[in-house]
Amino acid sequence: MQLKYDLIVIGSGPAGTNAAITMSKHGKKVLIIENRNYIGGGCLHTGTIPSKTMREAALVLGSSHKEAFGHVEELKNESTHQIAYTSLIVKLRNVITTEIDVLRQQLSRNQVDVVIGNAEFINSTCLKVIDANGDTSKYQTEFVLIATGSSPNRPKEVPFDDHVICDSDSILEMGANLPKSMIIVGAGVIGSEYACIFSRLGVKVHLINKYKEVLNFIDKDVRSMLMEQMKRNGIMLHTEMDIESISITKEKKARVVLSSGIELEAGKLLYTQGRNGNTKKLNLAAAGINIEKYDLIKVNEFFQTSVPNIFACGDVIGYPSLASVSGEQGRFAANHMAGKNVNAMSDLFPYGIYTIPEISFVGKTEEQLIAANIPYVTGTAHYKEVSRGLIKGENRGLLKMHIHQENLTLLGVHIIGYGASELVHIGQAVMAFNGGLDYFLDHVFNYPTWAEAYKVAALSASNNLLELQKKA
């Protein structure tokens, strides 16, 4: 007997679970198919949650507040370090187990069925699931949402053994064996975040980047502050470097030869260049869907594929590949399937990068404003100008805001430093309501707070604007 659903969701990450719960709230019968043993997707098991749990623990272990108080003990010897790292792994498992429980309860409260096994299309309205025992079941459906996420790129010339040479999934399987040194290939978001985390944990990190600077899509001042901070934290940056070869030595070390001729050796190598959509196991041809570059799926503004009853959301459609955005895409797509009137999805989303220090931004960068010929003025606030920063001992940070020179609306906010990923939402809200300079100048902010940085930056933007007007 074939079970029939209104919606079958493939993948139980943020895109899939948000879509499933939304659709079920519209009174529809929903099934999620997940090919890992546990629900939660890459987000919970190999992506956002493990990396951010490790970061939080690394901040505590690496005593980020020592400058403020001067007496917090640093990890002095290797054995203390290994014990601390072992507790980090235990903490990580606890976080994941609790998150799985919360998610399971949410799905069950909303009567969403879950089946564990690999989903593949038989045709556009029928799917086959093969479970771990090789047993097959078939399901009929009106709609399908493909929310299968993405996986690390593993080029053939890199000899991955998932022990010495790892990707961002297998690096999490090293258990309590923290290496003394690590080579990280790729200074994108994942590579830069892990470089900061492992370096804070006392690992000697070499970060190799093809380009002159790390994270070349972020604000230039934020980027140079990050690079400066990375160097202060002991990360060895090898920029504008191509890789000649990657190998494993007889002594089981990772070895990299760079285009400059420099040879590096380390206990582990983490390769983080690129990700591909998880589409290979879906038999998409049977549904009439083409696979695009990097194994991604093409969708329209409603997240609908070329086959009208089949939708795709999250990492499997590419940019921006964030858990935050994937969840919203899932909700949006489900509302659209259910025939609800939904506004076009806002493209005003914040970007959070959990390096140490963290970075967050919303809206346009200076490069984008210049390219679009938009007249703007910038205001800045350094954390050392903000009392809360001095009290907390976190005085290395920057908040930059761009204001439209004529209508004074807020065009973008770029932050590096403590609390950046929370602070950015003030800017996001002001932008969403078309607010601008006046809001920051005319309202009282709690004192002392990090949010005061907005006030300081607004006063700076206002002064810069006056200067421009004087010159005009």
Ligand X SMILES: Cc1cc2nc3c(=O)[nH]c(=O)nc-3n(C[C@H](O)[C@H](O)[C@H](O)COP(=O)(O)OP(=O)(O)OC[C@H]3O[C@@H](n4cnc5c(N)ncnc54)[C@H](O)[C@@H]3O)c2cc1C
> Exactly one of 58, 75, 119, 413 binds ligand X (CB under 6 A); which one?
119
Give me the 305-344 binding string for ligand X, x by CB under 6 A, dash otherwise.
---------xxx----xxxx-x------------------
Quick one: 100 or 342, whose CB is closer to ligand X?
100
Quick one: 363 or 379, whose CB is closer to ligand X?
363
Quick one: 132 or 370, whose CB is closer to ligand X?
132
Size of the site for ligand X (CB under 6 A): 38
Answer whether 459's CB lies under 8 Å from 401's CB.
no
Tokens of 291: 């696979």
> Exactly one of 5, 7, 8, 13 binds ligand X (CB under 6 A); which one?
13
Closest CB 319 distance from ligand X, rounded Å: 10
Quick one: 209 or 326, whose CB is closer to ligand X?
326
11 part of the interface to ligand X, by CB under 6 A: yes
Closest CB 228 distance from ligand X, rounded Å: 22
15 part of the interface to ligand X, by CB under 6 A: yes
Nearest Cα to 439, choosing from 458, 422, 425? Answer: 458
> Exactly one of 139, 354, 376, 418 binds ligand X (CB under 6 A); which one?
354
Quick one: 168 or 409, whose CB is closer to ligand X?
168
Closest CB 314 distance from ligand X, rounded Å: 2
Given the rule CB under 6 A, which of 44-52, 255-263, 338-346, 373-381 is the region that contacts ligand X? Answer: 44-52
Given the rule CB under 6 A, which of 1-9, 28-36, 216-224, 379-387 is the region that contacts ligand X? Answer: 28-36
> Exactly one of 20, 47, 289, 296 binds ligand X (CB under 6 A); which one?
47
Quick one: 276 or 365, whose CB is closer to ligand X?
276
Cα gap 217→364, rounded to integer Å: 11
195 part of the interface to ligand X, by CB under 6 A: no
What are the CA-CA distances from residue 150 to residues 13, 46, 169, 273 (Å)?
A: 11, 11, 11, 13
Of residues 160 through 179, those in contact with ligand X by CB under 6 A are: 168
53 part of the interface to ligand X, by CB under 6 A: no
277 part of the interface to ligand X, by CB under 6 A: no
> Exactly one of 53, 64, 141, 148 binds ligand X (CB under 6 A); which one?
148
Closest CB 329 distance from ligand X, rounded Å: 8
Point out which residues bind ligand X (CB under 6 A).
Answer: 10-16, 33-36, 41-43, 47-48, 51-52, 118-119, 147-149, 168, 190, 278, 281-282, 314-316, 321-324, 326, 352, 354
